[in-house]
Structure 1
Amino acid sequence: MVGIEISVRWCDEDLVELSILASNGRFSGEVFAYASHDTATSFAAALRGFPNDGTDVRQFEIGTLDPAFAGGGARLEFGCLTLTGKAFVDVRLHGDRGDRPEAASFGIEIEAAAIDVFVQELKQLGVSVGESASLRAVS
C-alpha cells in the first residue's frame, strides 16, 4: 500500500500497541508504538478540516521518537505543497530494536479528500486487534 496505515496489534486495559506503516512507493517503514486508547480519536480531531487553506500545517505524534524510552514512534506533519491545497505528509519513524535503533524520514503526496475518509476511519478505530485506518497516497 502506498500511503499510511495504522492498525491495532495488541491492547490491554491501559494501552494499545499500534502498527504505523508508511510508504511513498520508493521509501517505506513500519514502527510499533504504544499509545493510549484515545489516540486515534485525538488524531482524527487534529486532522479534522485539513487543509483550511494553502498554509495549513498539522502535526501529530504517536508513541515516541526519543530513543531513551521504550517503544517506537511516528511523527506525521501534514501540510500543503501549493496554495490551492495540494497536500503532503512528512513522515518520521523511529523503531526500537534494543541495541539497533532504526529510523526513516520521507514525504508522501496525498489528496485532501482522502484525509476526510482517513479521519472517519480514525474515529471508528477501536482497540480490537486487526482494526485499521488507511490514508491513500496520490496515485
Structure 2
Amino acid sequence: MAEFGKGIAFYRRQYHLDVGEGFYIDLLLVHVPSNRFVVVELKAGKSKPEHLGQLNFYVSAVNDLVRFPGMAPTVGILVCGSKHEPTVRYALDGSSQPIAVTSYTYDTLPPEEREALPSPEAITAVLDQHASEEAPYGE
C-alpha cells in the first residue's frame, strides 16, 4: 500500500462487479486527497492489450456503478511483470480513461527490501492458485 503513495486507503480486494456476468477487480482503493477510486489490476506476466481493455472496462463500471456522488473520476493502474512500451502506447491510444501501466521490478530492489516482499514467482503462484479456487474472473 505504501508504494501507491500517501492518502491511499484500501476499499476491497476482489471487488465484485455484477454487470450481467460476474467480474472481479483485483484491488479497489481510494485516493483520499483527490476523493477518487483507484482500480488496480495485477498481472504476473507481460502486459497485453487485452489487460488494458479489461482495466478500461473496470474503470468505466466503477465510475457508473460504484462511485459516490461528488467523487472525482476513477483511475486505473495495471501492475504487471513486464511491459513493452510500444504495445502499451498503442493499447492506450484513443482511451479516454486515466490509466497507467507499471511493472513490478523485484530484482532491482535492495536485498533487505527483496526479503520483505514476495518474489514474482510467489505472486504468480498465489494468483494461479487463487484463479483455480475462486469463481472465474478475467485474467
Category of TM-score, reference length = shorter chain: 0.3 to 0.5
Normalising by structure 1, we get a TM-score of 0.35
Between Structure 1 and Structure 2, the one with more strand by share is 1
Q: If you compute each CA radius of gyration, which structure gives the higher value, 1 or 2? A: 2
**Which protein, 1 or 2, shows the higher relative CO under an 8 Å CA cutoff with sep ≥ 6?**
1
Q: TM-score scaled to structure 2, two decimals?
A: 0.35
